[in-house]
Amino acid sequence: MAVTAAARLRLRLGVAVQILLVLALVAGTNALVARNPVPGLRGDWTEDSRHTLHPDTAALLEGVKDPVELVLFHTPLAGRHPDREAFDAEVFVKTDLLLREAGYRSRRITTETIHPATNPDRAQAALARTGLEDSAMGGNFLLVHARGRNIQIGFSQLGSLDPATGQIRYHGEDVLYKAVAEVTRREVRMVTFLEGHGELDPTEADDGLALATLLNREAYRIGRVDLARGQTIPPETSVLVVARPLQELGREAIAALDDYHRRGGNLLLLIGARTPAANLRHYLETQFKLALRDEHEMLHDPKGTLPRYPEWIVAERNFNADHPITRPLARAEQKLTVVLPRVRPLTLTAPGVCTSLLASNPGSWPDRYRPGYYARQLEEDEKVPGYELQGFPMAVAVDPRLPSQRLSGDQAGRVVLFCSGEFASSQFVNTFPANGALLVNAVHWLSGKDAGERIAPVAIRQVRLAMTDPDRRLLFWAVVVLPAAVMLLLGVLVFWLRRG
Amino acid sequence: MRNVLTLVVREMGAYFRSPIGYSVPILFWVLAGLRFYLDLEWTQGDVEAALAQLMGGVHFWLLTFLIVPALTMRLLAEERRSGTLEMLLTAPVEDWEVVAGKFLGAWLFYAFLWVPLPLYLAAVIFLGGSPDLGAVAANFLGVLLVGALFLAVGLFCSSLTSNQIIAALMCAVGLLVVSFLPEVARLFPRILWIQIAGDQLSFFHHFDEFRSGVVDGRPVVYILTLIGLALFLTARSLEARKWR
């Protein structure tokens, strides 16, 4: 039967309408399902439920009131060491899956994975949207953004290498939990910098700006207080930073610090060799049994026997692995170097009152350099016992929750003291990433942000075959030869039968 | 439904009466088996990694992109060239039954390619390994779904021409288009929802989840609706012959 032109046109229009309707149905169905994740439609089929979120994480994510953006930046093959590349690749895969689980929990959570190298425009757009600086482009990190706040989490914070097994221990869920909780908090934690005594200025590029930038990345608000001008420490201050004052702190200032501390305030003290510290020394000695020593010249190297930077003290391995501030450095998958210039030596005069966080590494220098630490022959009573083997403490922490460290009273806050001021300056923080990590960890601990590991990593069952040569032969025959041979025989048989 | 079953049996029979029914599985099994064996060697017996490579590694995608056009190129193109399509369409079967029968036949044959998988698992268990069977099941579900989607696209391409070679080429191009459709989102880097929609359209993105042992309803719906769309277009393509 011939089809007329008009009928053909009607048929074509009908088919076109049908196709459009089906396309709309497909798009609508997918949009509906994507925007309204139905509980129960997502299942973790793995035996160890490795992708299932901890109930606390699930509750937190399901309960977020503000829009939260989780953006994962990953630049593979960035010319790094192959081990580092493999580490980053594994952390990326795990974090990508973690974000998908997180995105499934709430419509308010938006997740994105961006490869800046292959899609720079998208990366730029994400940076512009979240207010992150362009210098972040090349890095591998997870950005948690909400309420105009950012927390930037490096891959080395998401996973660590277990030296015992050589496997990556992934603690991304714990880190994500804390970051989301932090950016969605009603109040922002505030870090207040003391000023008026020549301290590091958090607004000056070559002074304390790098530290302030790091703290901003962790969603801290920066404040300043000048006690000499009669200002009082803002009550919302989580941590008060005394960063390398170049003038003596007066008795009133010390009294204000002491009062703040006794009422639960947390102190971060960066006191190096350049700080005149007569009043501080007395305060630290009476409150924390810490002897701040004056003989910093012992660390100079007028004979030039130390390599390159005579006034720099390096800590590479002597991190306290039991303390939350230094534990991440001690367990990092690569060796981290903290460099502290112009150090003022400390002595802990009463054991147990302070916890040493890191110590110098005299043992890490070649023998010929060791004498270079001493510009003059030390008197016997000046020598620190065991110094040649253990180094001396360069940072200490005081936690009044420990009975032995409750000298200032039950309500007192935490204290961290670094015996170098310049190590927190932009020059050192930008050059040595571990310096910045150490400082940020200290602020986290002081502000109570890092309350230990809340979400433990899922114990993943490792399935590895230990094959002998006969096992290998058996496997080869079973998986390579046998199926193909059976099929070949079957084919020959069928064709032989069909020929007949 | 009976018509569909009859067509499925006819299709399966057609595969196993032709050399393709034997050469494709032999090629696939040798390459997949060799890859699985070598991956176990290279990873010092990491069963999880070897299985993930087997069902989602680069070679898996290469083989899929090669095998799907080979399986689908003859489905309708050959019928059209030999004139049997006219007989089929004038028989008391609906267009959609023809399409469903052809599709299911090809899909069963594709699933047949994975018959050695239990043998691989049995060999690993026999040698002392204990693979995560839940994760393997999720991964296999992803393999079957993606295979079904590719076959539906190939079937549609086969319905457009009577030349098998052209059908195979169209299928390969069609698969590439479907695979890289989300890349269109790159044209709008500053519009977040387009970027996220682009991610959602990428079945490589979704396949990663199946591969890691997670089964999400969204990719399942996405793939099933795309399969439905491709089969619908195939049926309309067959119908168009009647009024051209």
pLDDT tens sequence across A71-91 = 999 887 655 666 777 888 889
pLDDT tens sequence across A463-475 = 678 888 999 999 9
What range defines the domain where residue B215 resides? 2-243
Domains of chain A: 55-183 (3.40.30.10), 190-446 (3.40.50.880)
| ipTM score | 0.85
Per the prediction, chain A carries an average pLDDT of 81
Could A42 and B45 be called an inter-chain contact, meaning their C-beta atoms sit closer than 8 Å?
Answer: no
Cβ atoms of residues B146 and B136 within 8 Å = no
| CA-CA-CA-CA dihedral for B143, B144, B145, B149, to nearest 10 | 100
Q: Considering only CA atoms, which of A285, A280, A278, A414 is closest in space to residue A350?
A: A285
Question: When comparing pLDDT for A486 and A187, which is higher?
Answer: A486
Judged against a pLDDT cut of 70, whether residue A110 lies above it is answered with yes
Q: What angle do CA A333, A335, A337 make, to 5 degrees?
A: 135
Could A3 and B22 be called an inter-chain contact, meaning their C-beta atoms sit closer than 8 Å?
Answer: no
Residue that has been written with the tokens 């994760």 in this structure: B135
- Where is average pLDDT lowest: A120-129, A209-218, A350-359, B31-40? A350-359
pLDDT tens sequence across B79-102 = 777 777 777 777 777 888 889 999
The proportion of chain A whose per-residue pLDDT surpasses 90, expressed as a percent, equals: 26
Interchain CB contact of A107 with B (< 8 Å) = no
| pLDDT score recorded for residue A80 | 61
Average pLDDT over residues A226-245: 90
Chain B residues near residue A494 by CB distance under 8 angstroms: 16-17, 22
Query: In whole angstroms, what separates CA A75 from the centre of its chain?
Result: 18
At B162 the three-state DSSP class reads coil
Helix (H) or strand (E) holding A338: strand A338-341
Judged against a pLDDT cut of 80, whether residue B186 lies above it is answered with no
What pLDDT band is residue A375 in, cutting at 50, 70 and 90? very low
Question: When comparing pLDDT for A409 and A93, which is higher?
Answer: A93
List of residues 6+ apart from A4 with CB closer than 8 A:
none
Judged against a pLDDT cut of 70, whether residue A431 lies above it is answered with yes
pLDDT tens sequence across A297-344 = 344 444 444 444 445 666 666 788 888 898 878 776 666 778 777 777
Average pLDDT over residues B145-152: 94
| pLDDT score recorded for residue A266 | 94
Could B186 and A466 be called an inter-chain contact, meaning their C-beta atoms sit closer than 8 Å?
Answer: no
At A238 the three-state DSSP class reads strand
Q: Which of B33, B48, B229 sits opposite A26 (nearest CB)?
A: B229
| pLDDT score recorded for residue B201 | 79
Q: Which of residues 439-478 of A touch B (CB under 8 A)?
A: 461, 463-467, 471-472, 474-476, 478
Backbone angles phi, psi at A71, to 5 degrees: -120, 125
Q: Which of A46, A93, A112 sits opposite B134 (nearest CB)?
A: A46
Per the prediction, chain B carries an average pLDDT of 87
Residue type, B110: Y
Q: Which of B17, B25, B132 sits opposite A47 (nearest CB)?
A: B132
Judged against a pLDDT cut of 60, whether residue A296 lies above it is answered with no
Q: Which of B17, B19, B127 sits opposite A471 (nearest CB)?
A: B127
Q: Based on C-alpha coordinates, what's the Rg of chain B?
A: 19
What is the distance between the alpha carbons of residues A192 and A200, in angstroms, rounded to a whole number? 12
What is the distance between the alpha carbons of residues A292 and A271, in angstroms, rounded to a whole number? 9
Could A483 and B243 be called an inter-chain contact, meaning their C-beta atoms sit closer than 8 Å?
Answer: no
What pLDDT band is residue A143 in, cutting at 50, 70 and 90? very high
| pLDDT score recorded for residue A490 | 93
Q: Which of B26, B48, B120 sits opposite A484 (nearest CB)?
A: B26
| pLDDT score recorded for residue A465 | 85
Chain A residues near residue B90 by CB distance under 8 angstroms: none
Cβ atoms of residues A418 and A340 within 8 Å = yes
Average pLDDT over residues B55-75: 88
Question: When comparing pLDDT for A166 and A377, which is higher?
Answer: A166
Question: When comparing pLDDT for A169 and A484, which is higher?
Answer: A484
How many domains does the structure of chain B reveal?
A: 1
Could you tell me the CA-to-CA distances from A163 to A169, A330, A333, A337 in Å, in that order? 10, 11, 8, 18
- Burial label for B25, CB within 10 Å (0-12, 13-18, 19+), is buried
Residue type, A13: L
- Interface probe for A, chosen from B225, B234, B238 (most Cβ of A below 10 Å), is B225
Chain B residues near residue A482 by CB distance under 8 angstroms: 119
Interchain CB contact of B187 with A (< 8 Å) = no
Give how far A484 is from chain B: nearest CA, Å.
Answer: 5
Judged against a pLDDT cut of 70, whether residue A295 lies above it is answered with no
CA dihedral (B79, B80, B81, B82) positive or negative: positive
Q: What angle do CA A146, A151, A153 make, to 5 degrees?
A: 135
Q: Which residues pair with A241 in a beta bridge?
A: A193, A268
Judged against a pLDDT cut of 80, whether residue A294 lies above it is answered with no
| pLDDT score recorded for residue A406 | 66
Could B196 and A112 be called an inter-chain contact, meaning their C-beta atoms sit closer than 8 Å?
Answer: yes
Tokens standing for A442?
């200290």
What is the distance between the alpha carbons of residues A468 and A373, in angstroms, rounded to a whole number? 55
Judged against a pLDDT cut of 80, whether residue A348 lies above it is answered with no
| pLDDT score recorded for residue A67 | 93
DSSP string of A422-451? GGGSHHHHHH-HHHHHHHHHHHHHHTT---
Q: Which of residues 78-97 of A touch B (CB under 8 A)?
A: 93, 96-97
The set of long-range contacts for A25-29, using a CB threshold of 8 Å and a minimum separation of 24, is: A25/B225, A26/B225, A26/B226, A26/B228, A26/B229, A29/B221, A29/B225
Q: Which of residues 172-231 of A touch B (CB under 8 A)?
A: none
- Interface probe for A, chosen from B214, B232, B244 (most Cβ of A below 10 Å), is B214
What is the distance between the alpha carbons of residues B235 and B222, in angstroms, rounded to a whole number? 20
Helices (H) and strands (E) in chain B, counts: 13, 1
Query: In whole angstroms, what separates CA A321 from the centre of its chain?
Result: 16
DSSP string of A31-95? HHHHHSPPTTSEEE-STT-TTSPPHHHHHHHHT--S-EEEEEE---S-S--HHHHHHHHHHHHHH
Could A33 and B195 be called an inter-chain contact, meaning their C-beta atoms sit closer than 8 Å?
Answer: no
Chains A and B: how many Cβ contacts under 8 Å? 186
Q: Which residue of A has its CA nearest to B125?
A: A465
